[in-house]
Structure 1
């Protein structure tokens, strides 16, 4: 992809995500007081004060640079009902097209909002940012340190008393945030599919 095309794609994806957040926030209001059939609302599993440990694995693909596989380990603190601050670390492997394959990883932080809760299911929006230290750059002359941005949508399912399953899609963006100037701000952009587990503790 060209730099101009990627920037336009990023703007389009950002617009879609923001528009989706606005739409689903309106839809979610209908679930706040009662269910579809007029029954009492289902109490959220994600109340203020709840804490979960989560492990997630995912893979994304960029047609220019290759694919990146990640494992993310996070603590999820619910600072309000249905709204969590999550923090931890991600570790991964880049199957690069232009340079050597190598490892990457770093600390990350993000937020998650469960805007719909229906019985054992929830639907959420989330976003995270991480520092990515790479063994090898994905393109020659590019830095080994980049920023990792991952906004997206997902679902959870209460599998058992202490286990939540989760899965979803994210936009996976990796770039140096123009720290070397606009002309040298390369970008990895891929759609990430992921799945994971959450356990209260």
Structure 2
């Protein structure tokens, strides 16, 4: 972790045989305004058999890219591999391989983190983008959307996450200093929630 201050933001993307959606995600990151921020994207290839590596490498001239390979199946193993390899930025962002970020996303991540120096764990709004087809009524149910689609929207103002609310595993970030005690994701269902609880206990 000694190199973490060399970068402002490291974005971790775990992926498996989703080269098409990964391309869209990387395109949005490459186009986003980085300003004077030093950022990198770490693609953790979970032993894909498609063009995942080729797609990621194609963005190397537009944004700083690191490609890691984890042959053991599972997102948790891929995330922990990236944490073990280290060299991550001061802020570590977890982003899914089927998401596109807002043009001001990098600046927003940095800005809210600066506004709340006493907080180590953050999340942001996740808006659903529906395909060009009829969406079933149940998909709009306010209790189902967060669970089925990782929909998160707590409004435009900075708010603390309250009991009964949660941070979505597809879009959140934390300060890399919380990893200095060797903390890692645990290998069981909903491990990301457990990771949150470990941090809350401090």
Structure-2-length-normalised TM-score: 0.24
Higher strand share: 1
Larger Rg: 1
Higher helix share: 2
